[in-house]
Amino acid sequence: MLNEEIVEKINSFLSQEFEIDESVMVPDANLKDTLDLDSLDYIDLVVVIESNFSFKVKPEDFTGIVTFQDFYDYVIANTTVNELV
């Protein structure tokens, strides 16, 4: 899957799951603030990642994710690894 396709897929499911307009999901925007995530929302986020990209998320994975770009990079890196295996 191309990186652009991954970003498009991420934005699409974030928009659906968190009922937010895709236009506010810009790479530098803060993921937590923009999506108004609480601790239970992170569980939903993990569910959609694991069901859409077929890799296992670990709790510590979120520590370095601040912006949407961080999130895209994280999913791209893990999706690429998954495709290579």
Partner 1 sequence: MARIVIVTRDNILSIIPQRPPFVMIDELVFCDGISSQTTVRVIEENVLVYNGELSEAGLVENIAQTAAAGVGYIAQQKGEPISTGYIGAIKNLEIFELPKIGDIIETEVKIEKQIFDVTIISGIVKCKGALLAKCEMKIFINNKTQPIQS
How many Cβ atoms are within 10 Å of 76's Cβ, its own excluded?
17
19 near partner 1, rule: CB under 8 A: no
Q: Quick one: which segment of 20-28, 41-49, 68-76, 77-85 binds partner 1 (CB under 8 A)?
A: 41-49
Instruction: Tell the burial category of 83 from Cβ atoms under 10 Å away from its Cβ (0-12, 13-18, 19+).
Output: exposed
Q: How far is the CB of 50 from partner 1 (least distance, A)?
A: 8
User: Angle at CA 27, nearest 5°, toward 80 and 42?
Assistant: 70
Considering the complex, state which of residue 2 and residue 40 has its C-beta at the smaller distance from partner 1.
Answer: 40
Interior/surface letters 5-20, b for 16+ CB within 10 angstroms, e for the rest: ebbebbbeebbeebee
Which residue of 59, 63, 84, 85 would you call a contact of partner 1, by CB under 8 A? Answer: 59
Number of residues that bind partner 1 (CB under 8 A): 7
> Which residue ranges make up the site for partner 1 (CB under 8 A)?
40, 43, 46-47, 50, 57, 59
